Each structure stands twice: as C-alpha cells, then as structure tokens.
Amino acid sequence: MSEKKLQNIHILVTGASSGLGLSMAEALLRSGATVALASRPGSRLDEAVARLTQAGYSAVGIPLDVRSEQSVDEAVQWVRREWGKLDVLVNNAGIGMKTVNPRFLVDPQPFFKVSPEGFRNLIDTNLTGYFLVARGVTPLMIEQGKGRIINISMNHETMKRKGFVPYGPSRAATESLSHIMAEDLKEYGITVNMLLPGGATITGMIPDELRNEIESKFQLLDPKVMDEPIVFLASPRAEGITGERIVAADFKKWLQERV
C-alpha cells in the first residue's frame, strides 16, 4: 500500500461502482482515505465494495440516485450519523451519449433526433445530480467551516462536438455551476474545483460492442489518469485552491506551473 497521505480524510464519491468513479475511489483508498462509494444499488456496487474491503481498505457502499432529493438526503444523513463529517465530495455520477445514441462516436446524430425524454434524463443525472448532491452536503461542510467539492467534467472540444447533445451541454453547464459554486462558497472555507481526464476514457460510457471500432479512431485514456490529481485535490497540498479546472492528462505540467 502507498503512503497514507489521506489518513482521517472522509470522502464521498458518486458514480463509484465503475469507470472513473471506481478508479478515483481506489486511488483515494490506497492513499489512506475513508471512502463511501455511492451509486445506484446493485451487484456492481456490492462487488466493488466487497473487493476493496477484503483488500483492507476503509470502503463502504451507499445506495444513491443523484436525481432524487430523497435519496441524496438519505445519503447525507448516513454521512452525518456514521462519520459526523465530510471532508471531500467527488461529484462524478453521470450517464453518457450512448443512452441517446449507442453509436455516438462513429455515427453522430443531430440534436433534433434526440428524444425529449433522453435529453431530460441525461441532464437530470449529469447536471441536476451534481447540484443536488453538492446542495445536500454543503450545510455539513459549512458547519465544519471547511470542505472540498470536486466536480468531474470533460474537454471543451467535446462540449462543441457534432452529435454530442445532450452530453456536451450537460458538462458545459457543470463548469458554469462549478465556477459559481466556488464563488458562493469562498466565504465558508469550502473549495470547488473541476477535474477532467483530457480525452475519451475506457469506461462503460463507451459501448463494448463498438470498442474496437472506436479505438481504431480515437486514443482512449485509462481511467487511472485521474488517480494522481484526485489524490492531490483531496490532500493538504491543495489547501486553498479553488475555482481551478484541471486536465488530468496535463496534471504534472499544471502542478509545475503553480510552484
């Protein structure tokens, strides 16, 4: 196990049963944090938590539907009851373009072919979900006089790419939300930053049946690209940093320029 630089740090990661969320949760656990993996209940979450606890990590699973105020409230109540504090929220839960067009990377479709139901479902998860979870944990962080929120985003190019409604708009709005949250929370000692991989990543958002076809056209990043920057943002080294947009693939350069 690596150096326990995050000992006594309690972190909630949403969308943590697979993909970027699971990779970040594992990196935080390896660094000594206590982590609640939150996602919709099911075997994926149960199996991930079982594997991590059997490896000796301080992991726990929390059932969470980020689109539901009641579900968010229940998760926050669990944190208050079991931990009594929350140091870091990683807002990561989201769904991708394959929910409205399974062939989105190889056969993009224009926005007017997206169903209203598909549009609303993705926005409710990717944007409203970030708002609801951050809104839910902020009172606890205000009581503590400190806290960190990390919102996971994506490349600006993807926000403008052909055929990327509603995923592109959902993350463009996430970044606006993040900047405003950072300003709103400065006076309370709570920081808000954005973290994005820096390219398409190998996650469940890419349909398995199209992976070979997509990999021939796009260079996909390993989810582990998020590990080092997420640990940094949760660590004492990131004290006071807020309103930043960090590209994981360029993290070392970003860090060097800050020194």
Cα 206 from Cα 185, distance rounded (Å): 35
Domains of the chain plus CATH, in order, are 10-258 (3.40.50.720)
Q: Is the peptide bond before 166 cis (omega within 30 degrees of 0)?
A: yes
Q: What burial letters (b/e) apply to 30-50, b meaning 16+ CB within 10 Å?
A: bbbbbbbbbbeeeeebeebbe
Rounded to two decimals, what is the model's pTM? 0.92
**Mean pLDDT across 189-202:** 88
**Mean pLDDT across 122-151:** 98
| Catalytic residue of the set 57, 130, 167, 188 | 167
Judge whether residue 216 has pLDDT over 60.
Answer: no
**Mean pLDDT across 60-75:** 98
Burial classification of residue 60, based on how many CB atoms lie within 10 Å of its CB (0-12 exposed, 13-18 middle, 19 or more buried): middle
pLDDT digits 0-9 by tens, 14-39: 999 999 999 999 999 999 999 999 99
Q: Is 167 a catalytic residue?
A: yes
Mean pLDDT of the chain: 92
Residue-level pLDDT at 103:
84
Residue-level pLDDT at 206:
55
60 token code pair:
């726990």
Judge whether residue 125 has pLDDT over 60.
Answer: yes
Residue-level pLDDT at 1:
40
For residue 141, give the nearest of 195, 74, 84, 62 by alpha carbon: 84
pLDDT digits 0-9 by tens, 238-255: 999 999 999 999 999 999
Residue 7 CB: number of other CB atoms within 10 A? 11
pLDDT digits 0-9 by tens, 94-107: 999 989 998 887 88
